[in-house]
Structures are given as structure tokens and as C-alpha cells.
């Protein structure tokens, strides 16, 4: 591992320890880097913010987008203290980060009580077979809005 990778990963791990010890959330930290500089830091705030989406990676993505004034983080990489959960992985794809570097694995997380594997197993299931009930409500009004978006000349694709 290069010195730069070690430094950025070290900061993600440091954040995970500091914020966990301060009882702000679980033991997860992340930093987003562009051109060799940290542009944002995030840590798990699920319990302190009462927000189940406030994971380290999502927090870092939100902060980076604000700092850089963009919804696309192309040209950036994320260093995270643990392999991203399905929600964070999806956010990483939506943000278009170039790469993910992680320390602990999802198995390591499961071994201390964070079982993301349940969600990974739910994703490929048919809708009717998922643990949470999901029902399709077909409405013309919803289709009309999608059609309006499809033909909208000034839309910004993402």
C-alpha cells in the first residue's frame, strides 16, 4: 500500500474510532479524496442523528458534493473503514466515485453484529418474495410525470 493510501485509510479508521468512542455511532469512518487531497470526511451518525441512512460513506458523499458544488464525484475516490453496505455501495455508484478502498470486510462487520448480508440477499429476490411487503400501485398520474420528464428539454440527467 502506498503512503498516500495508508494515510487516507488511516484517517478513515481514525474517524471510525474517534466518533465511536464519542458514542456518535457505529465504528465506521470514510474520507473522499480528489487529486491527493481529502475533500470530505464522514462517520457513522445513525444513533446520534436518529437517521438510519447516516452511514459514514453517505455522510462523506453528502459533504463532498456540498464542498465541490456537484452531484457527481467523478475523479474522486473513497476510503472507508469497512466494505460498504448495500445502501452505501448504491450511493457510491450514484455519486460516480472512481474507486473504493476499504479495510474491514462485510464478514468482519457481521462478526460484530452488523449483518448487511440480509440486505444483499434481499436485493435479487422477486418483489413478492422480499421480507418487507412491496406492492405496485399503477397510476396514470405517475406515468404522466415520467412522460413529462422524458420530453423535458431542460432536464439535467444524472
Q: Assess whether 57 carries a catalytic annotation.
A: yes
- 31-34 contacts at long range (C-beta below 8 A, 24 or more positions apart): 31/60, 31/78, 31/79, 32/60, 32/61, 32/63, 32/64, 32/73, 32/76, 32/77, 32/78, 32/79, 32/97, 33/8, 33/76, 33/77, 33/78, 33/79, 34/68, 34/73, 34/75, 34/76, 34/77
Q: Which residue in 14, 18, 37, 57 is the catalytic one?
A: 57
Question: Active-site residue numbers?
Answer: 57
Amino acid at each position: 500500500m502506498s503512503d498516500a493510501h495508508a494515510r487516507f485509510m488511516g484517517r478513515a479508521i481514525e474517524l471510525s474510532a474517534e466518533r465511536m468512542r464519542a458514542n456518535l455511532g457505529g465504528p465506521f469512518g470514510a474520507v473522499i479524496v480528489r487529486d491527493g487531497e481529502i475533500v470530505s470526511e464522514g462517520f457513522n451518525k445513525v444513533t446520534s442523528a436518529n437517521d438510519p441512512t447516516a452511514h459514514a460513506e453517505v455522510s462523506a458523499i453528502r459533504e463532498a458534493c456540498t464542498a465541490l458544488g456537484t452531484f457527481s464525484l467523478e475523479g474522486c475516490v473513497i476510503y472507508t473503514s469497512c466494505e460498504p453496505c448495500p445502501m452505501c455501495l448504491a450511493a457510491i455508484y450514484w455519486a460516480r466515485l472512481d474507486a473504493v478502498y476499504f479495510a474491514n470486510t462485510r464478514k468482519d462487520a457481521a462478526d460484530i453484529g452488523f449483518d448487511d448480508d440480509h440486505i444483499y440477499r434481499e436485493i435479487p429476490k422477486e418483489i413478492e418474495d422480499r421480507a418487507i411487503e412491496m406492492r405496485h400501485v399503477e397510476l396514470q398520474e405517475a406515468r404522466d410525470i415520467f412522460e413529462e420528464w422524458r420530453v423535458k428539454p431542460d432536464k439535467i440527467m444524472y
